[in-house]
Structure 1
Amino acid sequence: MTSIGYQAFFFLGILLVLSVPLGWYIKQIMQGDIPKWMRWMQPVERLIYRILGPTAHSEMSAKKYVLNVVLLSSCSLIFLVGLLMIQHLLPGGSTFEPISFSLALNTATSFVTNTNWQAYSGETTLSNLSQAFGLTVQNFLSAGVGLAVVTALFRGFVQVKKPTLGNFWQDLTRGLLYLLLPLSFLMAIVLLSQGVVQTFSSGVAYQSLEGKDSWLYLGPAASQIAIKQLGTNGGGFFGANSAYPFENPTLISNFIENLAILLIPAALIWTFGFWVKEWKQGRTIMIVSLFFVVLAMIGVGMSEVQGPHFAQVLGHSNFEGKEVRFGIGWSSLWAVATTAASNGSVNAMLDSFTALGGAVPMFLMQLGEIIFGGVGSGLYGMLAFLLLAVFIAGLLVGRTPEYLGKKIEAFDIKMASIVILTPLLLTLFGTMALTIHPDVMKWLTNTGPHGFSEVLYGATSLANNNGSAFAGLTANITFINLLGSVLMGLSRFLPILAILYLAGNMANKKRVALNQGTLSTVSPTFVTMLMIIILVIGALSFLPALALGPIAEFFTIK
C-alpha cells in the first residue's frame, strides 16, 4: 500500500469513528432532546423564539415551510447585496473599490445558496466587515437551512397521516445553536493554535526580499474558515483559499479542515438511520458514499502519482500546482472531499491536475453532489436517488414500491426527479451558454480540450452549488456573474421546494404492513442497484461532455 493509501485509510477511519456519535447527537438536538451539557444554551434559544413571535411555535405544512425558507433566503440575499454595494462607505472599507452590481449579486447568491463561488480575491476586494458580518453569517445560515430541510424530510418519512413537518425556525435555531456554532468555535480555536490568523487588523506593512514596500493582508480568518469547512461552504477568506498559509498553515490544520468538510454530511447519514429507527438504512447510504469516495481517491491519487510523461522525465510525479507541505496525497484527498461534499475549498490548483485527476472531481459534482454532499443537501439528494432505485426495483418485480413502510407513488417520483434532474440540466445549460458566447475564448487561459474542461468544470460547479473552479476561467465577467447567479439560485431552491413537498406527501401517508414481498433496501443487491443507477444517470448525462474535455485531453497529452 502506498503512502497515499495509508493517508486515505487513516482519514476515512477517523471520519467514521467521529461520525457515528455526532450523528446520534444531531438526531437528539433536532428532535428537541437537548443533552444536559448543552442546556446552558436554552435561554438563548427561548429568547430567539420570543423575538420571532408566534411563527416560531406553530407547526408548518410543506407550503409554509417552503415560504419561510424562501423568506429567510430572500432577506439574506437583499441584505448581503446591499452590504457589498456600500462596503466602501462603511468602517474599514474606505480603501476598497466599489463592487459592481453583477459581482455583488453573484457573491450574495453564492453564499446564500451555500455555493461560495468566488469571482474575486477576498483580501483585496472585501473589507473585514463584509467578510465577518456578511459572508461568515451566511455561511452559518445557508448550512442551517440545509440542515433544517433534511430534518423536515426525516419527519416526512416517520410521521403517519400528519400534514405538517415541524417548524422551520426551530429547526434552524437548533442547528445553529447546538451544532454549527459550538463546532465552529472549537475548530476556530484549534486553527488559531496552528497559526491561522484572527484579527480585525487589515494587515501590516513589510519590506520584501527584493526591497520593495509590500502589504501583508490579515483579518478575522479563523472564524470564517471553521464554518466554511463544517458548513460545506468553502469560500476562502484569502484568494488562494486553503492553499494559503494563513488559512491552512500546517499538516495538522490541513487534516482538521479536510476532516471537517465531510464530518457533518457523514454524521447526517447515521442521523437518518437513527431517526427512522433502522440504522441499517443509514448503513446502506454510507456504503454507497464510501464506495464512490474510495474509487475517486484511488483515481485521483494514481493519476497524480503517475503524472504526465514530461513529469516522469523530470523524475517525479505531478507536483505542479500543489503545496510542498501537503504533497500529492493530501492534495488528492482534499480534491475528492471538496467535490464530494459540495464544499469547493481547495488546497491545490485543480487546473494543474492531470486530465483524469481533474475529471474525477468534476464527475463527483456531476452526480449531483450526493456523495456525502453539502450539509443536508447531499443527503436529501441521495435519498431522491434511493427512492428512484426503489421505484425501478418495484417495476422490475411488478409490485407497488415501498420505502420505510410507505408506498412510493407518482407524485413522489416526480419530486425526486426534480431533485435529480435540476442540477444535471442546469450544468448542461450553463456549459452551452458559456460555450456559444462569442467572447468565451477571451475568458480562458487554455484552448482545446483543456479549455473546454475549464468551461465544463465552471458550469458544473455553479449548477451543483460547489464553488470550486479550475481557475482557468476568468470569473468576474458580467455575463458569467449573472448566469452563475441564475444557476446557483435555481439549483439550490428548486430541489429544496421538491424535497419539502415530497416530505409533506410522505408525512400524510399511512404505513403499510411489511410482508415477504417487501423489497429490502439494506441488502447487498439493493446497494449494488443504487450504485448502478447513480453511475448510469451520471454517465449517460455527462460522458459526451467529458469525452470532449478531460478524456480527449488524456489521449492527446504526450
Structure 2
Amino acid sequence: MSSTSAGLLQVGFLIAALAVAHRPFGDYMARVYTGSAHSRAERAVYKVARVDPDSEQRWGTYALGVLGFSFVGVVLLYVLQRVQSVLPWDFGRGNVPPGMAFNTAVSFVTNTNWQSYVPETVMGHTVQVVGLTVQNFVSAAVGLAVAVALVRGFVRSRTDRLGNFWVDLTRGTLRVLLPVAFASAVVLIATGVVMSLESGVDVDGRTVAIAPVASQEAIKVLGTNGGGVLNANSAHPFENPGAWSNLIEVFLVLLIPVSLTRTFGTMVGERRQGYVLLGVMGALWTAMLGVIWAAEASGLRPLEGKELRFGVPSSALFANTTTATSTGAVNSAHDSFTGLGGGGLLLNMLFGEMTPGGVGTGLYGILVMAVIALFLAGLMVGRTPEYLGKKLGRREVTAAAVSTLAMPAALLIGAGVAAVLPSTRAALDDPGAHGLSEVLYAYASASNNNGSAFAGITVTNDWFQSSLGVCMALGRFVPIVAVLCLAGSLAAQRKAPGTAGTLPTTGPLFATLLGGAIVLVAALTFVPALALGPLAEALL
C-alpha cells in the first residue's frame, strides 16, 4: 500500500471514529452542563471551596471567577517551579530560573503549553504532575466553562445570570476530562507509551529519560494542551510509539471540539445549528490538510524533520490538527516544513483556531465569528442582524469585535517589536524570509494559546520569555472577558421569533457566509505579514 493510500485510510478511519463519538459524547456534555444534581465528589469540592453550587452569577462575577482562578494558578505554578529543589522527585535539576518560570506558569494556565525549556533536564516529576498536569485539566475546563456560558446566553431570556463558574469548572474537570483522560491513558499504555516514576534508564552506558508519560500524554492531547513531557514531544517514541498511538492522539485532540458542536445544538434546541458550525470547521480543516499534505509531498523536503514511522501523511495530519486546534503538540519539526506547508500551519492559527479550535475556545470562537458574519450580512441588506432569536446590536458586535481583534493586536505588535530588536536577529538561524516566519509563528502560537514553534529560533532571553508570556495572557483573557460580556448581553434580551427577513442560520448560505468571514478576517489582517514571510519563502 502506498503512503498516500495509507494516509487516506487513516483520515477516513479518524472521521468515522469522530462521527461515532460525536452524538453520544456531545449529548453527554450537554447533560453535564444542564443537569441540576451534584455528585458526592463535587459537593465535597464545593464544601472545601465554600461555594454555593445552586447559586448563579452575573457575567461580571463569572469573569472575575475566571480571572481570579487563573491568577492564583499562575502564582502557585510559578512558586512551585522556583522551589523545585526542595520537592521530591526533583532529580537534582534545581529551581527553574525566574523568567522561564514566569513564561511556563502563564503558558500552562492559559492552555498554551509553550515550552522554552527542555523538560527532561529542567522539570522534575513533582512539578510535572502536581503543577503542569493539574493545569492541563483545569485550563481546559475553564475553556469549556466559558463556551457553555456563551451558549446559555443564547438560550436564556431576560436574565442577568449565566450559571456558576465554580460548578462549570468542577463538572468539566470531574465529569468530562478526568474519566476520558484516565481511559485514554490506559489505551496509550497498551500501545507502548511509557509510564514510570523513574528519571531515566541506562542503555549502553547512556541515560535515556523516562517519566509518567501516558497519564500526562492523555490530557495533553484531550485538553488541547500540547506540552510534552519529553523535549521531542509526540515525535518521541516514548510519547508516540507508532501509527496507532499517533491516530489515537489525533482523535483525542479533535474529540471535544468536534463533539461540542453537538452540545451546542442540543442546548439551543436545534441541532442543525451545530451541524452548520461543524460543517464550516470540517471544510476548512480538510482544505488546509490538503494544502499542507500536498506541499510536504511535493518532493522539496519530503522527510526532513519527520519521523520515518509516520512519514508525510501522518505528519501532515498531526500538524494540521494541532495547529487548527490550540494544541501545539508536534510529531514532526514544523520548522522543516516547506514554505507553503509551514505557511499552512501558521494560517491555521491565524484563522483564530476555530477549525475546530481548542477545548471550549473553538466553539466560542466560531460563535463570535458568527456574530461578525451576521453583522456584515445585516449591513448588506440594511437589517439589524439576529442569531438564534437574539438581536445583535452595538453592545454585542463591540464585544465580538474586541474578542476577534485581541489576538491579531497581540501578535502583530509583539512580532513587530521583536523583528526590529538586535537580540531577535541573534536568536535566529535564518535572518531572511524564513527567520521572519519563525518570529511570526512564535507570536501567533503564543497569542492563539497554541504552543507549537519553529525550531530555528531561540526564545530563552528575557525579552522573549516576557513578551511571549504577555501575548499568551492577552490572547487568552481579553477574548474570555469579551465573550462573557457578549453572553451577559444576550441573556438579558427577550428571545424574538424569526420573521421573513431573518437570515436562516441552518443552511448552506449561512455556512458559506461564516466560512468566508473566517477567511476574510484572517486575510485582511495578516496577508502583508504572510507575504513577507511564508509566501516569500515559498516563492524563493
Residue matched to 2:13:
10
CA distance in 1, matches of 2:430, 2:470: 26
CA distance in 2, matches of 1:525, 1:154: 22
Find 1:380's aligned residue among 340, 347, 364: 364
Counterpart check, 1:397 vs 2:381: yes
Residue matched to 1:147:
144
Counterpart check, 1:222 vs 2:214: yes
Residues 92 and 509 of structure 1: is their aligned pair in 2 closer, same or farther, counting only changes over 3 Å?
A: same
Residue matched to 2:443:
459
Q: Which amino acid aligns with 1:282?
A: G
Counterpart check, 1:370 vs 2:362: no
Residue matched to 1:326:
310
**What's the offset of the Cα at 1:270?**
1.1
Aligned partner of residue 16 in structure 2, secondary structure: helix
CA distance in 2, matches of 1:14, 1:33: 31
Aligned residues: 537
CA RMSD, Structure 1 to Structure 2 (Å): 1.3
Counterpart check, 1:409 vs 2:402: no
Find 1:545's aligned residue among 529, 533, 538: 529
CA distance in 2, matches of 1:47, 1:476: 42
Find 2:495's aligned residue among 511, 515, 523: 511
Residue matched to 2:28:
25
Aligned partner of residue 142 in structure 1, secondary structure: helix
Q: Which amino acid aligns with 1:406?
A: K
Find 1:193's aligned residue among 190, 193, 204: 190
Counterpart check, 1:291 vs 2:275: no
Q: Which amino acid aligns with 1:68?
A: G
1:378-432 alpha-carbon deviations (Å, 9 max, x no partner):
1111111101111111221221111111111100001001111111111111211
For structure 1, the 5+ residue unaligned runs are 208-212, 312-317
Contact kept? 1:430, 1:463, Cα under 8 Å: no
Counterpart check, 1:246 vs 2:243: no
Residue matched to 1:315:
none
Residue matched to 2:128:
131
Q: Which amino acid aligns with 1:24?
A: D
Contact kept? 1:153, 1:380, Cα under 8 Å: yes
Residue matched to 1:527:
511
Contact kept? 1:265, 1:376, Cα under 8 Å: yes
Aligned partner of residue 373 in structure 1, secondary structure: coil
Find 1:235's aligned residue among 227, 231, 243: 227
CA distance in 2, matches of 1:303, 1:9: 20
1:54-101 alpha-carbon deviations (Å, 9 max, x no partner):
444321000110111111111111000000011012112251032211
Aligned partner of residue 205 in structure 1, secondary structure: strand
Residue matched to 1:183:
180
Residues 207-356 of structure 1 aligned to structure 2 (within 5 Å): 207=204, 213-308=205-300, 318-356=302-340
Q: Which amino acid aligns with 1:417?
A: A
1:321-375 alpha-carbon deviations (Å, 9 max, x no partner):
1111111111000010000111000000011111111111100101111111111
CA distance in 1, matches of 2:64, 2:156: 21
Aligned partner of residue 306 in structure 1, secondary structure: coil
Aligned partner of residue 215 in structure 1, secondary structure: strand
Residue matched to 2:103:
106
Residues 473-484 of structure 1 aligned to structure 2 (within 5 Å): 473-484=457-468
Please identify, of 5-14 and 65-74, the stretch whose mean Cα deviation from structure 2 is larger: 5-14
Counterpart check, 1:439 vs 2:436: no
CA distance in 2, matches of 1:95, 1:215: 15
Contact kept? 2:91, 2:199, Cα under 8 Å: no
Aligned partner of residue 422 in structure 2, secondary structure: coil
CA distance in 1, matches of 2:257, 2:525: 25
Residue matched to 1:314:
none
**What's the offset of the Cα at 1:111?**
0.2
CA distance in 2, matches of 1:458, 1:516: 47
Residues 217 and 51 of structure 1: is their aligned pair in 2 closer, same or farther, counting only changes over 3 Å?
A: same
Question: Identity across aligned pairs (percent)?
Answer: 44
**What's the offset of the Cα at 1:497?**
0.4
1:182-233 alpha-carbon deviations (Å, 9 max, x no partner):
00000000111112111211122232xxxxx321111111111100100000
**What's the offset of the Cα at 1:143?**
0.3
**What's the offset of the Cα at 1:307?**
2.5
Residue matched to 2:479:
495
Aligned partner of residue 111 in structure 2, secondary structure: coil
Aligned partner of residue 525 in structure 1, secondary structure: helix
CA distance in 1, matches of 2:364, 2:244: 32
**What's the offset of the Cα at 1:130?**
0.6
Contact kept? 1:322, 1:328, Cα under 8 Å: yes
TM-score, normalised to structure 2, is: 0.97
